[in-house]
Chains A and B, each alone.
Chain A
Amino acid sequence: MPWPTTRRVIGTKVSRLDGPEKATGRAKYSYDINRPGMLHARILRSHYAHARIKNIDTSALEKVPGFRAFHIIKNAGAECRFAGDEVLAVCADTEEHAEDCLRAVRVDYDELPHAVKEADARRLVAGQGTLGGANNPANTQAGGDFATANFDAQAYQGTSHQIEGTYGAPVISHQCLESHGLVAEWNQDQSELTVWASTQAVPNTANQLAQNFKIPAARVRCITHYMGGGFGSKFGPDIQGTVCAELARKTRAPVKLMLDRAEEVTVGGQRPSAYGTVKVAGNRQGDIRAFEVDCYGSPGVGGGATVNFNLLPYVYVTVPFIKRRHQIVRMNVQTARAMRAPGHPQNCILTDQALDDLAAAVGINPIEMRLRNLPPNDPNALKTAPNTYMARRNSIYRSQIEIIRKMCDWDRVWHPPGRGDGVVKTGLGMALHTWGGGGRGPNPTRITISADGSVLVQSSSQDLGTGQRTVAAIVTAEIFGLEPTDITVQIGESQHGPSTPSGGSTTCPGTAPAILRACEATRAAFLAAIAPRLNNAQVDDLVIERGNILNRANNERTPWRQACARLGQNPVQATGDWAAGLSDQGVGGVQVAEVKVDTETGVVRCTRFWAVQDCGLVINKLCCESQVAGGVIMGVNYALFEECIYDRATGRQVNPDMEFYKLGGIQDMPQIYVHMMDMPERGVIGIGEPPTISTAAAVGNAVFNAIGVRVEQAPFTPERVLAALARRK
């Protein structure tokens, strides 16, 4: 069953089904679950960025009012490798008493050397490393070098202009407003576990807990009806999940363990830093011949994922000569987690800003620079998959640039960098991005139609705030001739079967096809069941239209409810899963920022913002546009405000809060103009990540355009802007 070619509900603006529950505070998030007899748990964490635990003294715990149980996470002798590393968990009858318990535990440490600044960590050679382990290996490792053949001999041949610039962005934090955590409760004989967890991966969370406690997966239930933000940081139970369930087992009581704000910022997830020196060279027309980058970034203390710098030069992948050198810098802060389009915003910062600097050196308009260097449509892809990003990328970006050029009145507003009168200078800046966003299975979805006309859709997939619940209702309403509010959607419970985690913008393209196919199967079963009871109609003659079942043989219409009543005692039920052909992946996007820079105070205000976003079949236009505007706002925060600031001396983050870790409020944010390039023929493509990618680079370019000097590092704070202006003078 393909997507319907004429669409009544799909692609329109539909208010979220759960909007009223959320807006009036009645929606119960994991943080809001209060179970009878519930205890509260807290985690004691290392204050040192690197230390070995000498001794843990829990003897005073018994005297603390309300104390119930403790669980040691790291034993004496173990190393804590960042400030915030878990040592021990306690639980008590109230949160206040749990806090008292933390203060009653005495932990002695041997402090060990740490490094929490990339520059410090890079200086440490083998034997001096601060990551622990036997021989103190260096904190750095090669991240993989690459060079086009004959780069050194030929890359710069015939180039007339060359720039070298430094660009970068610091470690930032996800800052989920609902912190990580859960409520865990065992049944009486402790054979079954239920958790209400704040997670982007409902079945995965249940399965991991089942493994940890060595009980059958079918006996662990994870419930996530509402979820207060994840952005890539919530894919499993985490340490606190296992600890919470363990304390619940020990005490035979439900236990709640939610991270507090300081914990959320210091252990709940970080986006890796990225810094690089970029050399770009081209001819006087602006054709880039060489892109050379030496960069590094920190994934924190873990050795795992950091920025995938192999994407450089980002978007402009067909630059003839490319040379990359990158280094992974590990330091004593929490390990990185995926964060909304992992790696892409950093790569965009390292590419698109350098591009504008070259455009300025050559003396051409940045739009001209981009049009000249866009990768061509891939001729092979054009033959085999003409609708894909590879096949159409050049056409996509060209048409988007033309659209946004008009939207923002670029040709009138843009000026050569640094021109403009007055103290407050206005600038425009552009950047480009790409993302995957394809769907996959398994995402089995079950639909039940009952004799009362009600339609129930069930799957274990989760709604992170993206509007997934409403997506299910829209697709189902479309097929059954109903309204979205007629549909009951039950999601976010692992008992409904497997589903894919919500990462990589895959949820809508992974589930919408499954819902469509479930509708198809249920419709077939429904029509087969009622045909004999509709004056012995032939199944093939029956079609579902808005509100009615039409018998094309005699043009008889039976209203939906009456038709359903013929089901009697036997509801129809069928399932469907994701299949290829209904979703696609690969999008392009272009963004333009307008900023006003006060050259006396250094304050940058982003005043207007334009986003043109390529996507496939839009299911809910309202939520789709919300996603794009939200991505832009997250990107403006990245550009202007956010930074995890670590103190060199103590190794601790000095702003693990929301006061000195800045996030913009409504008055700090630009007016945003969103243009969706809807391509329904491609099927559904995820949209959560792409719109946040190029925002920071676009703001950076706008600042450069305003003041004529590059502010090297995000966030573009007054201090950094003033320092850059001082360099110019």
Chain B
Amino acid sequence: MSDTKETTGLSRRQFLKGSGAAAAATALGTAAAPGALAAQAPAAQPVPGMGPAGVKITLQVNGRKMSSTVEPRVTLLDALRNYLDVTGCKRVCDRGTCGACTVLLDNKPVYACSMLALEAQGKEIRTAESLVQGAKLDAVPAAFVRFDAQQCGFCTPGFVVAMKAVLEQNPKATPAEVEKGLAGNICRCGTYEQMRDAIYSLCNTKRGS
């Protein structure tokens, strides 16, 4: 970051303002400790920041606009779970390792624990809850059910969303490609073998021995 100026011609402040992390980083920098960031700020021109108090946010979740007031530090995952009661995305590692919180953000799978709720505004968020209409299950969760690719089920919505993303991006994905798309998800009960049955079925491929 320190050599940003030389390489891009952008100042750190300009860079932050243009990036999704700007609001939160600025807010924390000015509110918590007057660190390097605040020290660089021109004293005469207070920059509009957010927080540490709550700010109103609106998220587009599973086709619905949902609003709440959250502090800028609140992750997308916590906003969904604690403020909007959308609990299909699970908090497990909370550090971008296990994938239990995977959601689709503008059709791209992301770890909801690793981005701020503020950053997700204006984007279309889809969770596992969107993969059912009435009693009609989407093909992906239906395959999980049919082949018993879940036990305790706590990791399952994350896997389902990750698998959905692979198949949406490439409907002709091979089983190996789908498996690769699940590499960022962890199951503790050990449902991978059944998950492979589900994958082969979704890929219309016969599973060899």
Contact = CB atoms under 8 A, between A and B. Distances in A.
Interface string A68-110: 0000000000000000000000000011100000000000000
B97 interface: yes
10 contacts: A20-B141, A23-B145, A24-B131, A24-B132, A31-B91, A178-B152, A629-B194, A633-B192, A658-B98, A659-B93
A666 B92 contact: no
Interface in B139-156: 141-142, 144-146, 148, 150-156
Contact of B128 (A25, A95, A629): A25
Contact of A626 (B81, B148, B184): B148
Given A177-B154, A228-B153, A663-B188, A24 B148 contact: no
A16 interface: yes
Residue of A630, A665, A666, A672 ringed by the most chain B CB atoms within 10 A: A666
A24 B154 contact: no
B153 A622 contact: no
A15 B193 contact: no
B86 to A, nearest CB: 8
Contacts of A261: 92-95
B95 A177 contact: no
Contacts of A666: 179, 182-183, 185, 187, 192, 195-196
Interface residues of B, number: 59
Contacts of B81: 32, 34
Closest 10 CB pairs of A and B: A25-B88, A633-B190, A465-B152, A228-B154, A22-B153, A630-B190, A19-B145, A25-B128, A32-B87, A23-B141
B191 interface: yes
A466 interface: yes
Nearest to B180: A667
A22 B87 CA distance: 11
Contact residue range for chain A?
35 or more
Given A96-B73, A465-B151, A663-B186, A23 B157 contact: yes
A669 B153 contact: no
Contacts of A176: 188
B78 A24 contact: no
B6 interface: no
A577 B196 CA distance: 38
B157 A25 contact: yes
Interface string B155-170: 1110010000000000
A503 interface: no
A96 B71 contact: yes
A15 B186 contact: no
A658 B93 contact: yes
Contacts of B184: 665
A22 B156 contact: yes
Nearest to B86: A25
B186 A665 contact: yes
Contacts of A629: 190-194
A6 B90 CA distance: 42
A659 B113 CA distance: 14
Interface string A2-30: 00000000000001101110111111110
Contacts of A24: 88, 128-129, 131-132, 137-138, 141, 157, 160
A673 B85 CA distance: 40
A175 B71 contact: no
Contact of B82 (A25, A94, A464): A94
A464 B132 contact: no
Contact of B152 (A20, A32, A227): A227
A238 interface: no
A669 B97 CA distance: 17
Contacts of A671: 193, 196
B146 A15 contact: yes
B87 A25 contact: yes
Given A23-B160, A671-B196, 5 more contacts: A15-B146, A177-B187, A226-B153, A261-B95, A669-B192
B126 to A, nearest CB: 11
Interface in B32-73: 71, 73
Nearest to A470: B148
Interface in B90-137: 90-95, 97-98, 100, 127-129, 131-132, 137
A452 interface: no
A177 B193 contact: no
Contacts of B148: 15-16, 19, 622-623, 625-626
A155 interface: no
A657 interface: yes
Contacts of A31: 87, 90-91
Given A658-B92, A658-B95, A16 B188 contact: no
A243 B81 CA distance: 23
A229 B189 contact: yes
B145 A20 contact: yes
Interface in A175-225: 175-179
Nearest to A626: B148
A432 interface: no
Contacts of A378: none
A229 B188 contact: yes
Contact of A657 (B74, B95, B131, B141): B95
B145 A626 contact: no
B89 interface: yes
Contacts of A18: 153
A633 B186 CA distance: 12
A407 to B, nearest CB: 10
B154 A178 contact: yes
Nearest to B89: A25
Interface string A640-677: 00000000000000000111000101110101110000
B93 A657 contact: yes
A632 interface: yes
A220 to B, nearest CB: 25
A177 B98 contact: yes
A228 B98 CA distance: 14
A228 B150 CA distance: 11
A678 interface: no
Interface string A460-493: 0000111100000000000000000000000000
A708 interface: no
Nearest to A621: B148
A24 B163 CA distance: 13
A20 B145 CA distance: 6
A463 to B, nearest CB: 9
A294 interface: no
Nearest to A100: B52
A260 interface: yes
Contacts of A465: 150-153, 189
A608 to B, nearest CB: 10
A26 B85 CA distance: 11
A34 B81 CA distance: 9
Nearest to A674: B193
Nearest to B208: A671
Contacts of A22: 150, 153, 156-157
Contact of B155 (A177, A634, A673): A177
